[in-house]
Structure 1
Amino acid sequence: MYAVVVTDYGDTEVLRYQQVEQPKPGLNQVLIKVEATSVNFADIKARYGKKGKESLPFIPGLDVTGTIVEVGEDVKDFKVNQRVIAFPQGGSYAEYVIANTDLTFLIPEKLDFVTAGACPIVSFTAHKLLCDVGRIMLGETVLVHAAAGGIGTTAIQLAKILGAGKVIGTVSKEEKVSAARQAGADYVINTSKRNFVQDILEITEGEGVDLTLDSIGGRVTENSLLCLARYGRIVHFGNASGETANIQTKDLHASCRSILGFSLGTTRKYRPYLLRDTAEKVLGYIESGKLKITIGNQFPLKEAKIAQELMESRNSIGKILLIPPSSSLNQTKE
C-alpha cells in the first residue's frame, strides 16, 4: 500500500510518499480501507519531533474515515463493509490502517465520506471542550480563539447548538473574519488590528466572558484571564504560540474563575470510553444538519507536503483532507 512516511525530524522535505507493508488487525482491532484522512497541527509537531517523539520512520496522522475490510480476533461489534471513522494505531496517512474497536465509530447512513473524514478531531474535541470540561450553561457568553480553524468553526456552531447566548471569535488575519462569521460567531475580532480584551469588555458591558476556548497559550491565555467573568472558565487545549503563560493564583480563587486543561490525545490513550457518548452526540448533530464541518482543501495523499505547508502557513480555513489513491473519492485514477 502507499503511505506518507516521516523519515527524519524537520520540514516537509522529510515526508516521503512510498510503498509500505499493509498492516494486519490484531485482537479487538479492525482493518480499514481509508477514504480520507485529515491534517492536524499535531501532525506537524510530530514531524518536528515536538510531540510524542515517535520512533523514526513513522506514518503521521490521527483520524480516518473508511470501510472495514477485515476484523481481528474477538471483534463482535463491527463487521466487514461497515463505514466507520476511527483514530488508528500507527498513523493515518495511508491507504489502509488498523484501529482498536474502542476508537472506531459507525458512520450514520446519511453522512458522506468527505464530511466524515473532516469531523473526528474537530467535532470530538469541540464537544468535549464545551460540555465535559467547560461545562457550558444556557445563555453564557463563549470566546473562541483561532475561530476560523477547524476546531474554531466547529466550536462556534456547537456553542450555539448548546445554548450559548453570545459567541465571540478571534482571528489573526482579516481574510479569516468571514469564516468565523459564517460559522455563527456574533462578534469577530481581528487581533492583528484590535485589542481583544478591550473589545470583549465593551461587548459584555464589563462583565467578561463565561467560557474561553484557548489553543494558543502564552500571552493570549494571560490576556484571556483579563476578560473572564466571575465563575468563568478558560479551557486550554493547545499551545500554538509556543509561549508559556504566567498565571497568578490570586487571580483565581476570589473571583471563582478556573483554568482547565484538555487533550483529545490523552483521552484517546487513557480513557477512550469517554468518547463513545461524544461520538453519538456529534455525529447526530452532523447527520441532522445542525452542525456543518468547514472543509477548506482536499489534496491527494501524495501531496501531503503541500497540505502540511498550507496548514503551517496559518492561511488555511477549515479542515484539510488527504485522499489516498485507492479512495472512491478520487474523480480520476492516479
Structure 2
Amino acid sequence: MRAVQVTEFGGPEVLKNVELPEPVPAEGQVLIEVDHAGVNYADTHQAENTYLAPSRLPLVPGGEVVGRTPDGRRVVALLNGGGGYAERAVADAGMFVPVPDGIDDLTALSFIVQGATAWLLLRKSAHLEAGESVVVHAAAGGVGSIAVQLAKAWGAGRVIATASSEEKRSLALELGADVTVDSRAEDMTAALREANGGKRVDVVLDMTGGRVTDQSVAALAPFGRLAFYGMASREQPKPVQPGSLLRHSTAIAGMWLPHALSLPGNVFGTAMAELFDLALAGRVRAIAGGEYGLSQAREAHEALRSRATVGKLVLDPRR
C-alpha cells in the first residue's frame, strides 16, 4: 500500500513516499480503509521527535483517519502511535466512533482531535462559566476556530481572538469572536486588556508558548485560568511560581488529549457526541484548511510550520 514514512528525524524533508505491507490488525483492533487522514501540528513534532510521547523509527505519521471498516461502518479513529498517512490503518477498540449521516470527512477529522481538544479545554481545563471573557490564541487554526464557536455557543460574555493576519482575524469574527487582536502585538498583556474593555480576562486558551504565554498569564483576572495545550513557537514560557498564582488567585492547567481517553464516564465519547449534535444543528462548523494528496504530505507540514494555514488540513490517500 502507499504510505508516508519517516526513517530519520527532522523537518518536512524527512517525509518519504513509500510502498509498505498492509497493516494486519491484532486482536482488539480493526482495519480501516482510509478515505482521509488528518494533519495536525503535533505530527510535525512527531516527525522531529519533539512530541510529548517519544517517536520510534521507522514511523508512519498521522494520528487520525476517517474511513470504513471491513463490515462497512464509517468511522473516525484515533491511532495509537501513528499510521494515518497511508491507504489503510489499524485502530484499537474504543479508539474510534461511528460518523453520523450528515457529517462529512472534514468535520469528522476536525472533531476527533481539534474539536475534542477545544471541548476539553473549555469544559475540563478552564471550566468556562457563562458571561466570562475568553481569549483564544491562534483563533483561525484547527482548535482555535472550533473553540471560538464553542465559547459563544456556551455563553461566553466576550470572545477575544488572536491571529497573525487580517484574513485570519476576519475569519475569527465570522465564527463569532467579539473582537480580535494581532498575535504579533508587542505587549500582549496590554492588548488583551484593551480588547476586554480595560479589564483583565477570565480564560485563555494557549498553544503558542514563549512570551505570548508569559504575557497572557499576566493578563488574567483574579480566579482567571490559562489552559495550555501546545507550544507552536517552540519557545518555553518562563517558569511560574506557585506563590505568584496565590498572589493573583490565578490558575494554569495543561491538557494533552490522550489523557481524556482514560477518564471515567466516557468523557471523550460525550465530547464527540455533543460536537456532532452542534454541527448537525448548524452551531459549529469545521473550517477547511486545504486538502493534499498523500504524495504532498511534505507540503502540508511546510504549510503548518509556516503558520500560514487556517482550519483543518487533510490528506487524500488516493492521490
TM-score of the aligned structures, taking structure 2 as reference length: 0.93
CA distance in 1, matches of 2:161, 2:253: 19
Residue 177 of structure 1 pairs with residue 169 of structure 2: yes
Structure 1 residue corresponding to 2:252, chosen from 254, 259, 269 = 259
Residue 186 of structure 1 pairs with residue 187 of structure 2: no
Corresponding residue for 2:204?
212
Structure 2 residue corresponding to 1:221, chosen from 213, 221, 237 = 213
Extract structure 1 runs of 4+ deviating beyond 6 A.
Answer: none
CA distance in 1, matches of 2:87, 2:175: 32
- What is the total number of aligned residue pairs between the two structures? 315
Contact 2:185–2:191, Cα closer than 8 Å, also in 1: no
CA distance in 1, matches of 2:188, 2:56: 41
**Structure 1 runs not aligned, ≥5 long:** 70-79, 326-333
Residue 193 of structure 1 deviates from its aligned partner by 4.6
Corresponding residue for 1:43?
43
TM-score of the aligned structures, taking structure 1 as reference length: 0.89
Contact 1:37–1:118, Cα closer than 8 Å, also in 2: no
CA distance in 2, matches of 1:192, 1:106: 40
Q: Any idea what SS the aligned residue of 1:316 has?
A: coil
Q: Mapping of 1:140-289 within 5 angstroms?
A: 140-193=132-185, 195-246=187-238, 247-268=240-261, 270-271=262-263, 273-289=266-282
Residue 196 of structure 1 deviates from its aligned partner by 3.0
Contact 1:118–1:321, Cα closer than 8 Å, also in 2: no
Corresponding residue for 1:75?
none
Structure 1 residue corresponding to 2:100, chosen from 72, 95, 108 = 108
- Matched letter for residue 66 of structure 2: T
Q: Any idea what SS the aligned residue of 1:278 has?
A: helix
Contact 1:5–1:17, Cα closer than 8 Å, also in 2: yes
Residue 194 of structure 1 deviates from its aligned partner by 5.7
CA distance in 2, matches of 1:287, 1:18: 38
Q: Any idea what SS the aligned residue of 2:230 has?
A: coil
- Deviates most, 201-210 or 45-54: 201-210
**Structure 2 runs not aligned, ≥5 long:** none
Residue 93 of structure 1 pairs with residue 85 of structure 2: yes
- Matched letter for residue 8 of structure 2: D
- Matched letter for residue 142 of structure 1: V
Corresponding residue for 2:5?
5
- Matched letter for residue 109 of structure 1: D
- Deviates most, 150-159 or 107-116: 107-116
Contact 2:137–2:208, Cα closer than 8 Å, also in 1: yes
Contact 2:206–2:230, Cα closer than 8 Å, also in 1: yes
CA distance in 2, matches of 1:207, 1:112: 40
Q: Any idea what SS the aligned residue of 1:92 has?
A: coil
Residue 304 of structure 1 pairs with residue 305 of structure 2: no
Contact 2:135–2:161, Cα closer than 8 Å, also in 1: yes
Corresponding residue for 1:63?
64
Q: Any idea what SS the aligned residue of 1:159 has?
A: helix
Q: Any idea what SS the aligned residue of 2:315 has?
A: strand
CA distance in 2, matches of 1:103, 1:175: 35
Contact 1:171–1:191, Cα closer than 8 Å, also in 2: yes
CA distance in 1, matches of 2:283, 2:169: 22
State percent identity of aligned pairs.
Answer: 36
CA distance in 1, matches of 2:11, 2:65: 23
